[in-house]
Amino acid sequence: MDITQLFPVSHGLVTEKTWETIKKIWNKDPEIDRFCNNLSTEKFSFPGLEFLPDLIRLEWAVDQARRISSECSPERISLNPSLQVLILSWKNLPLFIKKKDRTAPYPIEAGPEWVLIWLEPASHKLQVEAGSNEDLLVLKMLAEDLDIEEVARSGGLPIASVENMVDRAVKKGILIRPPSEIRRESLTFPRGEVTHESFFSAEVFTLQWHLTQLCDLHCRHCYDRSSKAALSLKQAQKILDDLKAFCRARKVKGHISFTGGNPFLHPDFFQIYQAAVEQGFSTAILGNPVSRKALEKITALEKPGFFQVSLEGLPEHNDYIRGTGHFDRTLAFLSLLKQLGIYSMVMLTLTRDNLPQVLPLAELLRGKTEAFFFNRLSRVGEGANLLLPDPEEYQRFLEAYLKASRENPLLGLKDNLFNILLYRKGEEIFGGCAGYGCSGAFNFLTLLPDGEVHACRKFPSPVGHSLHQSFEEIYQSEEAQRYRAGSQACSSCPIRPVCGGCLAVSFSLGLNIFEERDPFCFFR
């Protein structure tokens, strides 16, 4: 290859006379290390461009990265095959590669700097940047085949912190994770209009863990007020071990959403939370307002990814459903979460009575929380005493909500049926309820206080028992496969991978959830 094409940036910085001299040196010995070392000797001088040999070395590495495919399907987390790692004697040289104006006076200074060059696995876009200490630690782990738990112990870090470093390296593209083994079967879920691979393969498996039935509220739509005994700390630790093994075998990251009742009322909540963090699980809390002291105790262990609280409408209606004073306490709690830097979300259970209050509530919450979502009521437990809106009225509401979401950034989309509207409008669809349409028993399971495992908490959907079966056995069970497949009535729908309606709503209205479709579906 012509040296001018190989090193275009360096060529643009020197005179043609100097470049001719450089070309002669290259033609004598084009081995890159010897070539750059020759340029660095006292025989050659580049006034104001003393960094030129290192820049040439960098351009060579860029060319090498472009020649190597970043595509691979490793059995374990591995280095990106295109990754090039350099130790340069000058800082900020990547700016010459990344910026269009290569003649700009960049802040180049003497001093060692590690530089990483690679092609992103998905986009194949070239990336060139200085390696951070975190990047270098992750690369050292891979190069020396160090175990994550070993690195965490030697550095006095939670396992989750080290795993998060690895996750960030995977997201950046310098590492490549093996393909997830939590996948939709294409025969059951035809791609139709949904072709994006991300809707068929899950990278995260979520366990919604209802630690206890104990609760400091008594909501009028509560799905279950039965007196299930809570698991012991020893049993909880065994479950965490098994969940970790399941996630490793399935090549996914594990996430636990702790809820209840009120999870803080479990006598061993903090120990279970700490054990989950130490196992490397990401965490979230779905609960009621708690004290600053309790929050600070949790964040000292590991800040949850988010803390979700519930509001059921404007103050009067909310307090009718959840108890006097609940609305004001929740707003004060949202303020506390903001003070402590904890991402907050507000969830609403939608009924006929609070439907008109949803958008006004979302406006009221601007600046007070990061996100707002709703789920339709499942008329089970005490929720059987409440009513759902008329399907036609609900469709009009979805249209109004979708329109309002363009103006109010809090408004998140969760109900799968939003995808019908997006499909009709020719707009980009989203992942639906939990990223994959109805995700019960796919990338999501619910664990009840006594160890029962269900596909979804919003209605009775038992698939196994964690005290008698492993998560792998539960996941492969016929019951789980049935919930995973969903309703036969949806099987040929072109947006099935991101929809499937809501099995909980269908069940609560007396339908056969494995044969009939969501009665609120308006896809025609």
Q: Read off the pLDDT of residues 390-430 as tens digits, 9 standing for 90 and up.
A: 999 999 999 999 999 999 999 999 999 999 999 999 999 99
C-alpha distances out from residue 455 to 141, 185, 285, Å: 37, 18, 19
Neighbours of 390 (CB within 10 A): 13
* Closest of 252, 368, 244, 372 to residue 311, by C-alpha: 372
List 376's β-bridge partners, or say none: 350
Q: What is the DSSP letter of 462?
A: E
Coil, strand or helix at 393: helix
Q: Alpha-carbon dihedral of residues 64, 66, 71, 76, nearest 10 degrees?
A: 40
* Closest of 147, 160, 203, 177 to residue 79, by C-alpha: 177
- pLDDT for residue 76: 87
Q: Which residues of the chain have pLDDT under 70?
A: 1, 42, 100-104, 186-193, 195
Q: Phi first, then psi: give them for residue 119, nearest 5 degrees.
A: -100, 130
Residues 499, 435: Cα–Cα separation, whole Å? 10
* Closest of 167, 175, 204 to residue 79, by C-alpha: 175
Neighbours of 32 (CB within 10 A): 17
Residues 234, 388: Cα–Cα separation, whole Å? 41
| Prediction pTM value | 0.85
In this structure, is the dihedral angle defined by the CA atoms of residues 88, 93, 96 and 102, taken in order, positive or negative? Answer: negative
- pLDDT for residue 260: 92
507 touches 380 (CB < 8 A): yes
- pLDDT for residue 191: 65
Angle at which helix 391-405 crosses helix 418-425, to 10 degrees, equals: 60
Q: In sequence order, what E strands does 12-96 have?
A: 78-79, 84-91
- CA 299-267-349 angle, to 5 degrees, is 70
Angle at which helix 315-322 crosses helix 326-339, to 10 degrees, equals: 100
Residues 522, 524: Cα–Cα separation, whole Å? 6
Q: Give residues with Cβ within 8 angstroms of 512, minimum separation 6.
A: none
Q: Read off the pLDDT of residues 54-79 as tens digits, 9 standing for 90 and up.
A: 999 999 999 999 999 877 878 889 99
In this structure, is the dihedral angle defined by the CA atoms of residues 401, 406, 411 and 417, taken in order, positive or negative? Answer: positive
Give all strands of the β-sheet with 109-119 in edge-to-edge order.
84-91, 109-119, 126-130
Residues 524, 519: Cα–Cα separation, whole Å? 13
In this structure, is the dihedral angle defined by the CA atoms of residues 123, 128, 134 and 136, taken in order, positive or negative? Answer: positive
Residues 453, 227: Cα–Cα separation, whole Å? 16
C-alpha distances out from residue 44 to 26, 37, 49, 263, Å: 13, 11, 11, 70
How is residue 504 written in tokens? 């909980």
- pLDDT for residue 135: 95
Q: In sequence order, what E strands does 379-520 have?
A: 444-447, 452-454, 462-465
Half-sphere exposure of 243 toward its Cβ, with a 13 Å CA cutoff? 33
C-alpha distances out from residue 133 to 114, 117, 136, 355, Å: 9, 16, 5, 50
- pLDDT for residue 188: 65
Q: Phi first, then psi: give them for residue 284, nearest 5 degrees.
A: -150, 165
Neighbours of 307 (CB within 10 A): 24
Q: What is the DSSP letter of 504?
A: H
